[in-house]
Chain A
Amino acid sequence: MQYISNTAEDRQAMLKAIGVSSFESLLDKVPKRLREFRWDLPRGMSELELFREIVDTGKANRHFHDFACYLGAGCYDHFIPTVVSHLAHRGEFITSYTPYQGEASQGTLQFIYEYQSLMCELTGMDFSNASMYDGASSLAEAVLLALRMDGRKKILVPETVHSEYREVVRTYVSSIECEIVPIRMKDSAIDLEHLHKELGTNVAAVVLQQPNFFGVLEETGKISDAAHRARALVIACVNPISLGVIEPPGEYGADIAVGEGQPLGNPVSFGGPHFGFFTVKAELLRKIPGRIAGMTVDKRGQRSFVLTLQAREQHIRREKATSNICTNHSLCALKGAIYMSLLGPKGLKKLALINIKKAQETRERLLRIKGVKALSNRPFFNEFALVIEKNQKSLAECLRRNKILGPLALDRFYPELHSAYLVAVTENRTEGDLERLERAITEAEG
């Protein structure tokens, strides 16, 4: 396939207008020795053949229509109303650029403004940017912001934060003079004693994840108070769906609230693209990374929207910018905004309640199976960890036979947690799914 509009005659006419006899003469600046190479690429094909082949490749994937997904850990199988992709996939959104030309981009700018407003309402924070790449890079940028504050060099990062998020933070600060101090966990939550011990004078920020990687609710009020007493910032990394019921970061005084926006209307898509959200208290507004849309007026006095506070950004400040981010995840944030609009205040709470109820039921039922024990009895949202004393290989086979994906074996991230598994339960899981999950675990060899 080729998607070229010029005909052979057009090309001839254009070459003539340019004043050259052949296309090759337009390449006379390219050194000859660079023109000779062999590239190993396949031949092109028609759209029909392309679909045939891609459908075939897809058959080697086991997907959620055939398998019930109990995997979570930062990426969740939530139901997405049809309207979300129907609207977000309109050509006017999907094929437009970053809204630098405000007058030609009011649609984009207004949805960014609305997205920012919705995120502030959801998190209880004062300001939001227009989106980041994902939850982990948002968290890393929050850490960078904290390190820019007043020269404090320590960041406390609990072991209950998603291991990949901690890795990303380490990568982002690898060229910066600072110290990432791990805080131990106790019974699947932050060890508050250890936290207090490490909270000295040189701590720039305390990171927390709510619910944490194990699905457990951290004691955010206590953590936040302790951090603020040491004049450290609190960076909360939160699951947006949980906030329908769980206390939002604004209510426990977080200074920066970030997280993964995928649960808000974005398909799992093998891990991306999703979006990171980034919200702050008012005091930190001018230190935010990335784009921000603001409301103003046009010369006719009409309400208008425009990208603003750009003096923070790379295209103006270059090496002095608050971040190097340029392209963000606008379309994914749009899906988030449409999804939140469809939920409304009551729907937001109801969705969180359904998740809590299903997760509670699932846990209770699984705990009745011989060889299954709780890893912790702390309160949790829609994800929880269990110890399943079964042969790992046999368990995996039984799960596959019963058309179940997951739960996630935790020794991947915590080698000391043998036979521990993380189970995520969303509104999409049915009684039938649960029965198959029970059967699979029961059938597995001990």
Chain B
Amino acid sequence: MSALIFEKHSRSEADWLPELGAPEAKILEAIPAGFRRKKEARFPSVSELDVVRHFTELSQKNFCVDTHFYPLGSCTMKYNPKALDAIASMSSFSLIHPYQKAEDVQGALRVLHETERYLAGVTGMDEFTLQPAAGAHGEFCGLLIVSAYHRSKKETNKKKVLIPDSAHGTNPASAALAGYEVVQVGTDKKGHVDLADLRSKLDDDTACLMMTNPNTLGLFEEDILEIAEAAHKVDALVYYDGANMNALLGICRPGDMGFDIVHLNLHKTFAVPHGSGGPGSGPVGVKKHLAPFLPTPRIVKSAGRYVFEHQSPRTIGRLRTFYGNFGAIIRSYAYIRALGAEGLKTVAENAILNANYLRVKLKELYDIPYDGTCMHEFVMAATRQKKKGVRALDIAKRLLDYGAHAPTVYFPLTVEEAMMVEPSETESKETLDEFIRILREIEKEIVNDPTKVTEAPHTTPVGRIDEVRAARQPNLRYIEDQNKEVRSRE
């Protein structure tokens, strides 16, 4: 257990600030008393060394890609080249202000503009915005474009968004935020979107169909061309959730499948590290007919110079300040430049190869409810293990003891005891073989010593966490001189 930063008592403070150069009272004359803070913020008083030790100690309690195999399905926990971190930190890119005049930031604008063009090439779309900060932000952007498109055609009846039952939770949440009614589409026996169910729900009121391809089961939606055609027949737009784009780089493109709008997760496919939960970046690409609705400002190239275009009468507006998560976008720019067309294709090929290798090898241990060639990930089920009293969650926790991060568990919601495995392209056969060996070991424990698994983890800094207590007695901040919980006054 690590002390909280508030519980450190060096009482010395980092003195990295220069001297005031005038008496405090004199400076304060500029701020009338009524505007001033009355109660001091109870920040910890700690030395620089305390801070360094504290956060270093905390860091050591994390699993991460730099230290562990991290086959977290749908998250694409690949190795992200360190060169990209250095590039994002260069003073010529990190020490520039968004309100500098365009002629003073031509390098940054070039990075943004070329990234848009590269992403258009990768996805087969026409125009991109880099403004959205994350995947869900991109979905919201895309759905507002859907809404603006139908409004521009005076189609006021378009109230529904169709979403497969295996979709990520952000899809329905974003649709609701954009004012749509969510209609769920089922999965067929082979793990694909149920075409009959889809056709029965697709009607004139449908504004949009949101899909992931490969879907969250890791399967390629073979009927995608037919599906897109059916949607377009009722003037519904087809939205591509790019969470699984890592599987398609150089293989095929959503734009050619009939998708009208895509979002990408640069923090999945394009080497932006996940950063303990963010920041990411969620660029949105559209086909030509939807370009007038993109957020402003746009960055355009004119006579060899890059300029901001603020005027766009049909835009959905602005989703955030400035131009996007530039520090993330420049990483993806450099990644695409480093890998080039051939390198990107190798990414998808190895991601698919690694996933299929694990899938075939793990069949001996796990049920695979929707078996068949997968793309970059697959979903297995701990149903056999459940009969022996061990659940997917237990196996996930036991894996931590063996030094492997757990796969995504209990997602998609449509698979019982789901374990979603995405090895990513950067892992070696050797690492995958070790993962298989570990799961075989755990299988033996399930038979011989099941509590070792059901009581896991044993070697992590803390054991299994009491989540019920966390929710029932919320302690969400430190308060000095009381160890008592701060409770909601609800």
Q: Are B462 and A39 in contact (CB under 8 A)?
A: no
Within 8 A of A (CB), among B67-85: 67, 70, 72, 75, 77-81, 83, 85
Across the interface, which residues of B come within 8 angstroms of A304, CB to CB?
462, 465-466
Q: Are A101 and B178 in contact (CB under 8 A)?
A: no
Q: How does the 8 Å CB contact mask read for A119-141 relative to B, with 1 for contact and 0 for none?
A: 01110101110110111110000
Interface segment out of the listed A193-201, A224-232, A344-352, A434-442 = A344-352
Partner of B55 from the list A59, A104, A221, A338 (CB cut-off 8 Å) is A338
**Roughly how many angstroms separate A334 CA and B58 CA in the complex, as a whole number?**
11
Q: How does the 8 Å CB contact mask read for A60-72 relative to B, with 1 for contact and 0 for none?
A: 1111110001010
Q: Are A298 and B463 in contact (CB under 8 A)?
A: yes
Q: Are B28 and A107 in contact (CB under 8 A)?
A: no
Interface segment out of the listed B283-291, B349-357, B379-387, B444-452 = B349-357
Within 8 A of A (CB), among B27-44: 27-28, 30-32, 34-44
A361 to chain B minimum Cβ distance, whole angstroms, is 9
Asked if A432 CB lies within 8 Å of chain B CBs, one says no
B27, B41, B88, B356: residue with the most chain A Cβ atoms closer than 10 Å: B41
Across the interface, which residues of A come within 8 angstroms of B346, CB to CB?
2, 4
Q: Are A269 and B37 in contact (CB under 8 A)?
A: no
Asked if A419 CB lies within 8 Å of chain B CBs, one says no
Within 8 A of B (CB), among A357-393: 357, 360, 379, 381
Task: Please report whether the interface of chain B is mostly helix, strand, loop or mixed according to DSSP.
Answer: loop
Asked if B303 CB lies within 8 Å of chain A CBs, one says no
Q: A308-B474, A318-B173 are in contact. Are A329 and B340 (CB under 8 A)?
A: no
Asked if A443 CB lies within 8 Å of chain B CBs, one says no
Q: Are B337 and A50 in contact (CB under 8 A)?
A: yes
Q: Are B373 and A26 in contact (CB under 8 A)?
A: yes
Across the interface, which residues of B come within 8 angstroms of A64, CB to CB?
91, 95-97
Q: How does the 8 Å CB contact mask read for B290-327 relative to A, with 1 for contact and 0 for none?
A: 00000100000000000000000000111111111111
B324 to chain A minimum Cβ distance, whole angstroms, is 6
Partner of A273 from the list B85, B327, B350 (CB cut-off 8 Å) is B327
Q: Are B463 and A99 in contact (CB under 8 A)?
A: no
Within 8 A of A (CB), among B451-473: 455, 457, 460-467, 469-471, 473
Q: Are B121 and A323 in contact (CB under 8 A)?
A: no
Closest A residue to B33 by beta carbon equals A247
Q: Are B278 and A328 in contact (CB under 8 A)?
A: yes
**Roughly how many angstroms separate A126 CA and B357 CA in the complex, as a whole number?**
50
B55, B80, B354: residue with the most chain A Cβ atoms closer than 10 Å: B55
**Roughly how many angstroms separate A217 CA and B54 CA in the complex, as a whole number?**
37
A126, A268, A330: residue with the most chain B Cβ atoms closer than 10 Å: A268
Within 8 A of B (CB), among A258-310: 260, 267-273, 275, 282-283, 285-286, 291-300, 302-306, 308-310
Within 8 A of B (CB), among A234-278: 243-248, 251, 260, 267-273, 275
Which 3 residue pairs are nearest across A and B when measured between Cβ atoms? A271-B322, A44-B340, A175-B179
A-B contact pairs, 27 of them (CB 8 A): A13-B429, A39-B124, A39-B253, A44-B337, A50-B83, A54-B337, A63-B93, A69-B97, A71-B97, A75-B97, A90-B55, A90-B56, A93-B62, A95-B66, A98-B276, A103-B460, A111-B276, A113-B478, A117-B478, A137-B133, A162-B321, A171-B295, A174-B317, A306-B467, A309-B474, A343-B43, A360-B30
Known: A73-B99, A87-B55, A338-B51; 13 extra A-B contacts, CB below 8 A, are A11-B353, A39-B122, A40-B121, A45-B338, A85-B89, A91-B66, A93-B64, A95-B273, A134-B321, A171-B319, A285-B490, A331-B277, A408-B99
